[in-house]
Structure 1
Amino acid sequence: MHLRVLGSAAGGGFPQWNCNCPNCDGLRLGRIQARARTQSSIAVSANGQDWLLINASPDVLAQIRETPALQPARAVRDSGIAAVLLMDAQIDHVTGLLMLREHQGPLRLLATREVLSDIGQGFPVTRILSHYCGVQIHEIASDASTFFAPGLPELPMQAVALCSKPPPYSPFRGAPRPGDNIGLVLHNPTTGARAFYAPGLGEITPELQEIMAGCDLVLVDGTFWSADEMQAMGLSRKSAADMGHLPQSGPGGMLEHLQRLPAGTRKLLIHINNTNPILVEDSPERALLDSLGIEVAHDGMDLQF
C-alpha cells in the first residue's frame, strides 16, 4: 500500500506568509536548519495508479505538480485522483476542492454528514462546485464500520470520531458533534497491515489508544509542541486545547501516548504549526523525538504499509 505525504504543515504552511516568528523568519533568512512545508494532505493508493486524496489543501495544485502519480497520464484531461476524502471541514483541508473544479465529471467526495453540512452551508464549497464539475457525494459514518471509496475497491477503510473541534466558521464550534473530525484506519488486505491517520486530534481516549496500538503506521497531529505555544509568542490568546489540538509535550501529551504504542509501530507527526520547534532539525525538541523513535513528516515522504 502506497501512502504519499503531499503536505505536512498546519494551516498557513511553513513559512507562513505573514509570520515572523523565529521559525518562519529563520527559514526565510537561512538561519535555521529546516525545510519548507505545504499545508497537510496525504494520498493513498493500492496499485500506484488510482489514488485517494485525503484532504484538499489550498496548496493542492503545487502538491500535484510535485507528485507525478497524480498528474494526467491516460487521457487529454485526466488525473490519478480517483476520489477525495475529507477528515474535517477546516479551511486548510477543504479549500483545495475549488482548485479541482476543472475535473472531468463530478468529483467523488467522501465525508461525514457533519462535515458535509459545514461545507454545504457555512462554507458552501459543494454548492460552488455544482456550477463547475459537480460533486458526487458519498456520506461516510464515523462508527468504525468498513467502507470503500468509489474507484478504489482494494482500499478498505474505517472512520472513527475524534475529540476535536469543527472550524471557527461552523455553528457547532462551541458544541462539537461526533463526526466533525475523524481519524482514518487504512487497511492493506494483502498483508493485513494497517495505518492510522489523524491530523487533527484533541484527545486520545482509551478506545483510540487501542486502535492506534493495532496499527503498523501511525500518522498523527503534530500541530503544537506545548499547550501555550501561541500564547507564549503573543500570537494568539488561545491554547492548543482551545484550537482542538493535543500538544506533544507535557503530562498527557502526544509523546506520552506514542510511547505506549508497540515498539514495532512506526510513529510520525504531521500537521505541524509554523511555531513548533520540532521543525528545526537540530533543535533539542527534535533530538528528543529522535531518541523516542518518533519521526516528523515532510512533504514528498513516501510510506509503505
Structure 2
Amino acid sequence: MRVVLLGTAAGGGFPRWNCACARCAAARDGKLPARTPECAAVTGNSRDWWLLNASPDIRARLTANPALWPGPRDTPVRGVLLTDAEADHVAGLAVLRGTAGFKTYAAPPVLAALAPARAALDRHAPGEWADSLTEGGFVLSGGLVATAHPVAGEPSAYVPGRANDHRWVTAYRIEDLATGGVLVYVPRVSAWTPMLDDLVEEADCVVLDGTHFTADEATQAGRHLPVSGPDGSLSALTRHPQARRIYTHLADTNPLLDPASAARTQVSEAGVEVLPDGAELVL
C-alpha cells in the first residue's frame, strides 16, 4: 500500500490567507514550510488511487503528484472517502465533477448534508454515493478493503439544525489484502476512546488529528483533541509504539509547524512524526 499525504494543514492551509501571526508571516517569508489543507491518497496497486477527503485545492494537489495524473484514457483517481462534512474536506468534490462513475463514500448524515451538492454534481456526470458505514466494510479497486468507524466529533457548522448524531465524524481503517498492511486515518477527532486504541493497536501506520498542540489554542472548545496534556493524543499514541504515528491537520496556532520548536522536539522524542505535504508512505 502506498499513501501520499497530499496536504497536512488545517482549514485554510498554512499560511492562512487572512492571518498575520508570527508563524504565518514566517511561512510567507519562506522560513517555515507552507502546507495545504489536509487530504491524502492511497493505492494498493499503484494504478487505482482513492482520496481521503477532497480539499478545496485538490486540483493543485493532484497536479503536484505525477502518480495521480490521468493516463491516455482515464484518471487513476477512482473516488474519495470522506471523514466528515467539513467544508475543507468536501469542497474539492466540485473540482472532481465530470467523471462518470466516480465514487464517494461517507457516513449517512454526511451524505444527507451534501444532498444539494450531490444533485448539482450529478448533473455534470452521474456519480456513485455510498454509505461508508456499511456493515463489513467495502472493497476498493486496487486490492484494498476499508471500514469506517464513528469517532467523537460534532457536525459541521453549516449543517441546519446541527442534528444530534454520533456518526458525523469517522476514522478509516484501510487494509492491503495482498500484504496485510493497515493504515488508520483519523484527521479529525475530539476525544480518545477505547475504540481508537483498538484500531491503532492493529495498525502499521496511523495518521491522526494534530490540529492543536494545547487545548487553549482552539477558538471552539472540544472540536479537536489536543496533542499535549495527560488526556492528549500524544499520551495515547505512546501506548502504541508498534505503529508508525504521524500528525496531520495542523492549525496555524500549532508550534509543531516549526521544526525548531520545543513541541516538535517533544513529539519527535515520543516517536511521532510531523511530515511535509507530499510525503509518501509505503506499508
Q: TM-score by structure 1 length?
A: 0.89
Q: 1:137 offset after TM fit, Å?
A: 1.3
Aligned length: 283
Distance 2:176 2:164 in 1: 31
Quote the residue 2:91 is aligned against.
Answer: 95
Structure 2 gaps, min length 5: none
Q: 1:207 offset after TM fit, Å?
A: 2.1
Distance 1:172 1:222 in 2: 28
Structure 2 counterparts to residues 1-305 of structure 1, below 5 A: 1-30=1-30, 32=31, 34-75=32-73, 78-103=74-99, 105-120=100-115, 124-141=116-133, 145-149=136-140, 152=141, 154-171=143-160, 173=162, 175-230=163-218, 236=219, 238-239=220-221, 241=222, 244-261=223-240, 263-305=241-283
Distance 2:90 2:199 in 1: 26
* Percent of aligned pairs with the same amino acid: 36
Distance 2:209 2:22 in 1: 22
User: Is contact 1:142–1:161 with CA below 8 Å preserved after alignment?
Assistant: no
Match of 1:39, SS?
coil
Q: Root-mean-square deviation (CA), in Å? A: 1.5
| Amino acid aligned to 1:260 | R
Distance 1:191 1:4 in 2: 18
User: Is contact 1:38–1:299 with CA below 8 Å preserved after alignment?
Assistant: yes
Q: 1:189 offset after TM fit, Å?
A: 1.7
Distance 2:39 2:80 in 1: 11
Distance 2:282 2:23 in 1: 30
Q: Which runs of 4+ in 1 moved over 4 A?
A: none
User: Is contact 2:48–2:142 with CA below 8 Å preserved after alignment?
Assistant: no
Q: Deviations over 1:208-255 (max 9, x none)?
A: 21211111101000100111114xxxxx4x22x1xx210001120011
Match of 1:228, SS?
helix
User: Is contact 1:162–1:182 with CA below 8 Å preserved after alignment?
Assistant: yes
Q: TM-score by structure 2 length?
A: 0.95
User: Is contact 1:58–1:93 with CA below 8 Å preserved after alignment?
Assistant: yes
Q: 1:153 offset after TM fit, Å?
A: 5.2
Quote the residue 1:233 is aligned against.
Answer: none
| Amino acid aligned to 1:303 | L
Structure 1 gaps, min length 5: 231-235
C-alpha change, 1:82 and 1:63, in structure 2 (3 Å) is: same
